[in-house]
Amino acid sequence: MTSALPTPDDLAAACGAALDEVRRCTPLVQCLTNEVTTNLVANALLAIGASPAMASVPGEAEELAGAAGAVLVNLGTPGPDQRACLAPTVAAAAGAGVPWVLDPVAVGVLSVRTRLAGHLLGERPAVVRGNASEVRALAGFVSAGRGVDARDDVDTSADAADVLARRTGGVVAVSGPVDLVTDGTTHVRLAVGDRLLTTITGAGCALGGLVAAFTSVAPPLTAAVAASTALGLAAERAVIDARGPASFQVGLLDELYLLTPDDLACRVAAAQRIGVPA
């Protein structure tokens, strides 16, 4: 029996409430993340109201994971220490009932991280967040990705996202001009954001961190919708006074910090289209 679809108003209200809860609880988010984008991920988490921990030392990473509100695993720069941390950190999170988010950067293009991501899927991430090419590759579909760049369309990757969501029992968030969030049954499409997000290094990584923060206080579908809309709305506001990528990035953090629960709920209500697979 198919569960009832969330109404746009209910989902919008839940996203606003999730932001309020993040700000109230200040959840610890343990991040095994891309060395190139660590600063932006940490600052985005601070701006939204969470507390980032960027520990990737074997022995310490799993200790933090068991005590965190959520864990982010980003495969952008899988060096030796991070590779040694991955399995025990994810296992510690799973054992403690801590939700974790997988960001499969460049999976399907580069062999080491593709194997790592495949092994990690067995630990059932709450959310997989990636671009269309990464999601297709992780689901076992043909992918046209090039490095971290997507060469596949979000809409034509919906089947792959559904397969992946059903395999993990979680949610898949596909980033693109119009984002797609699916639990394998319900599709939420979000028309939100600005093209300048593609001109800074780490926007996707920051989104992964935001998804993790929201999973600490909300169900995965709500968390992924809230995070995607929060980043997109902050981008729409930041671009107004931006002169280029550098000022845009500064403005993006400011706008995440200034975002209110009502702002987020209103933008979710305006951005979303909810449906089921055709």
pLDDT in tens, 39-75: 999 999 999 999 999 988 888 899 999 999 999 999 9
Which residue segment(s) compose the domain that 79 sits in?
A: 8-271
Q: Would 155 be classed as within a structural domain?
A: yes
**Residue 216 annotated as binding?**
no
pLDDT tens-digit readout, 96-143: 999 999 999 888 778 888 888 888 998 999 999 999 989 998 988 866
Q: Is 191 left (phi over 0), alpha (psi -120 to 50) or beta?
A: beta
**Residue 129 annotated as binding?**
yes
Q: Would 115 be classed as within a structural domain?
A: yes
Q: Would 213 be classed as within a structural domain?
A: yes
Q: Would 277 be classed as within a structural domain?
A: no
Give how many domains the chain has, as a whole number.
1
**Residue 175 annotated as binding?**
yes
Q: State if pTM tops 0.95.
A: no
Residue 202 has pLDDT above 50, yes or no: yes
Q: What's the chain's average pLDDT?
A: 91
pLDDT of 107 reads 86
CA 134, 139, 141, 142 torsion-angle sign = positive
Q: Which of 168, 196, 210 is nearest to 15 (CA)?
A: 210
**Residue 54 annotated as binding?**
yes
CATH code for the domain in which residue 53 is found: 3.40.1190.20
pLDDT of 118 reads 87
Banded pLDDT at 2 (limits 50, 70, 90): very low
CA 206, 210, 211, 216 torsion-angle sign = positive
Inter-residue long-range contacts of 108-117, CB under 8 Å, 24+ positions, other chains counted: 108/133, 108/134, 108/136, 108/137, 108/138, 108/143, 108/145, 109/133, 109/137, 109/143, 109/145, 109/146, 109/147, 110/147, 112/78, 112/83, 113/75, 113/78, 116/75, 116/78, 116/83, 116/86, 117/75
Q: Which of 269, 233, 256 is nearest to 41 (CA)?
A: 256
On the CB side of 254, CA atoms within 13 Å amount to 13
* Best mean pLDDT range from 109-118, 153-162, 226-235: 226-235
Q: Would 3 be classed as within a structural domain?
A: no
